[in-house]
């Protein structure tokens, strides 16, 4: 099935992926391409969106694509940097703002009968994030919206379906952002809303069958949503030619190896459990740098899979549950200029010695999309509702070097925290939760005796895609009970703190 595609040109903004997610929420298929690699098949795209950027259009090295094949030929929505780009290089004027325009603002003017702002009224909240401002509109530009501080908040180019907006409709704080995107894509560009979880399953299964044929595939299961959904998709496509391996890296949650293997019973998958915990702990010995730990874990994963793959005759592919945020945070999603945040153990290809091709059926999906795809295949809600868990496991929740004793302590702490979330009916209200073992000891008193033991931090966030997250305001009574239980039950811990940082500026994990 050929969808009406939307092209998003990435100028390096960390918000670019949120644009894609908002577009997909409208059941519209979109692709992100770097600004300097515009696809040659522009005729297949029904609309184009230009992203924001950390760059200034006034800088010598500013992103400067040739839009001559897009402007006037296909509906175009330019966001933030994109709007400044249209102004700066098309007869307008962009200058530095007297003050950085960042945060919430409200529309003070909206042109009547303007289709981009249909059902969006004066007073609607928008989100600004820029240090330059549009002082003069581009040639043939007409003002269609303003805020109190930003006169040229939105414009249209007369004679074209070309729009520029200074604010970010993709972020949560722009309350009518989704409506604006719907107005542009559905009502102006006439894009059909035909990209659904069911269509994704059908098309992905067909694509996997064509890509893999009769070859054998080995897949690493983690017990999480991503690898489980990937496994079911592959199983639908190639059946018994899929070989699933669940590796105990010694960094899982308490009793997780056994419980996850039991979870997969009855799903029709061919699953083998491999206990390689000693191998991973040996590789991590003495390492404290987060990137070194991630790379060591990634290397051992590859080695374990290479060993297991050699036991499967004629296996040709390694399947991974890589999703969009993994790719985004490791490198730009498609080779564009977005900043690298951290590396991921399942991103970046395979070493030459491992003669397997990689297949990643979920690499274009966000976490919430993966769950919807799983639900459309009637997967167990217990699997789909499971909190995300980092690929490196507890290694990046133990700050500093890794030892078996530290892993034991954190497993016990984590078990108390997660079990209490479930017993208090809070687990499903939290997107991700876990405990962090801090590299500090603190003084305490237990039974009139001085102690000098570990401090742990509890972390619980709410999110939809992992790109942004807010800390969860857990009840004080819950935190009090959980803290007391951890200190009383877990030998080696005498202090518990709660992390109230949001992403950004923090990340969800501490490493």
Answer whether 264's CB lies under 8 Å from 238's CB.
Answer: no
Q: Is the dihedral of CA 128, 101, 10, 295 positive or negative?
A: negative
* Structure-block tokens of residue 225: 């949503």
* Structure-block tokens of residue 232: 């079911």
Beta pairing partners, 442: 453
Of 30, 130, 170, 235, the active-site residue reads 170
Of 3, 80, 130, 511, the active-site residue reads 80
DSSP state of 54: S
Beta pairing partners, 129: 102
Residue 310 annotated in active site: no
Other C-beta atoms closer than 10 Å to the C-beta of 424 total 15
Burial profile 176-187: b = 16 or more Cβ within 10 angstroms, e = fewer: bbbbbbbbbbbe
Give the residue carrying structure tokens 């530095």. 96
Peptide bond into 112 cis (omega under 30): no
Distance of alpha carbon 86 from alpha carbon 142, whole angstroms: 13
Query: What contacts 24+ positions apart, CB below 8 Å, involve 349-358?
Result: 350/302, 350/318, 351/302, 353/306, 354/302, 354/305, 354/306, 354/309, 354/318, 356/218, 356/309, 356/315, 356/316, 356/317, 356/318, 357/316, 357/317, 357/318, 358/317, 358/318, 358/319, 358/320
Answer whether 164's CB lies under 8 Å from 21's CB.
Answer: no
Other C-beta atoms closer than 10 Å to the C-beta of 190 total 11
Q: Which of 89, 46, 93 is nearest to 70 (CA)?
A: 46
Give the residue carrying structure tokens 């004679």. 159
Cα–Cα separations (whole angstroms), residue 145 to 81, 150, 163, 188, 383? 17, 9, 11, 17, 45
Residue 235 annotated in active site: no
Residue 168 annotated in active site: yes
* Structure-block tokens of residue 101: 């325009």
DSSP state of 184: I
DSSP per-residue letters across 459-474: EEEE-SSSSSBEE---
Helix, strand and coil content of the chain, in percent to the nearest 5, comes to: 35, 25, 40
Of 3, 168, 344, 345, the active-site residue reads 168
Sequence length of the chain is 511
Residues serving a catalytic function are: 80, 168, 170
């Amino acid at each position: 099935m050929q969808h009406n595609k939307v092209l998003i040109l990435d100028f390096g903004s960390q918000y670019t992926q949120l644009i894609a997610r908002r577009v997909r929420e409208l059941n519209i298929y979109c692709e992100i391409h770097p600004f300097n690699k515009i696809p040659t098949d522009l005729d297949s795209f029904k609309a184009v969106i230009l992203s924001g950027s950390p760059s200034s259009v006034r800088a010598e090295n500013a992103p400067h694509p040739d839009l001559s094949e897009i402007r006037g030929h296909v509906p175009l929505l330019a966001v933030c940097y994109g709007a400044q780009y249209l102004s700066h290089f098309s007869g307008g004027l962009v200058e530095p703002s007297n003050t950085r325009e960042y945060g919430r603002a409200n529309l003070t003017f909206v042109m009547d009968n303007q289709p981009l702002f249909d059902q969006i009224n004066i007073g609607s909240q928008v989100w600004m994030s820029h240090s330059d401002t549009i002082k003069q509109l581009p040639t043939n530009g007409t003002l269609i919206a303003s805020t109190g501080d930003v006169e040229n908040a939105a414009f249209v180019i007369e004679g074209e379906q070309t729009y520029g907006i200074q604010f970010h409709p993709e972020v949560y704080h722009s309350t009518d952002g989704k409506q604006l995107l719907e107005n542009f894509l559905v009502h102006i560009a006439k894009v059909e809303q035909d990209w659904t979880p069911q269509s994704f399953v059908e098309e992905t299964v067909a694509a996997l069958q064509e890509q893999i044929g009769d070859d054998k595939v080995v897949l690493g299961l983690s017990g999480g949503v991503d690898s489980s959904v990937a496994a079911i998709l592959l199983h639908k496509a190639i059946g018994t030619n899929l070989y699933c391996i669940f590796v105990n890296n010694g960094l899982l949650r308490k009793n997780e190896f056994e419980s996850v293997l039991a979870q997969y019973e009855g799903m029709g998958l061919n699953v083998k459990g491999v206990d390689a915990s000693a191998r991973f702990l040996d590789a991590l010995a003495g390492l404290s740098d987060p990137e070194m730990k991630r790379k060591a874990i990634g290397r051992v994963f590859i080695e374990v899979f290479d060993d297991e793959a050699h036991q499967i005759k004629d296996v040709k592919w390694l399947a991974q549950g890589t999703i969009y945020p993994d790719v985004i945070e490791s490198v730009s999603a498609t080779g564009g200029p977005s900043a690298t945040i951290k590396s991921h153990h399942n991103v970046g290809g395979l070493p030459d010695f491992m003669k397997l091709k990689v297949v990643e059926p979920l690499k274009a999906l966000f976490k919430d999309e993966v769950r919807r795809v799983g639900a459309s295949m009637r997967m167990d809600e217990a699997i789909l509702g499971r909190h995300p868990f980092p690929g490196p496991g507890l290694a990046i929740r133990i700050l500093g070097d890794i030892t078996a004793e530290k892993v034991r302590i954190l497993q016990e702490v984590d078990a108390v925290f997660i079990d209490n979330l479930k017993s208090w009916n809070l687990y499903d209200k939290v997107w991700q939760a876990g405990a962090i073992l801090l590299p500090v000891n603190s003084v305490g008193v237990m039974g009139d005796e001085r102690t000098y033991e570990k401090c742990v931090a509890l972390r619980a966030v709410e999110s939809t895609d992992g790109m942004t997250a807010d800390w969860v305001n857990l009840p004080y009574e819950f935190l009090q009970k959980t803290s007391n239980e951890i200190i009383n039950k877990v030998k080696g811990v005498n202090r518990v703190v709660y992390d109230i940082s949001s992403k950004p500026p923090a990340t969800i994990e501490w490493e």
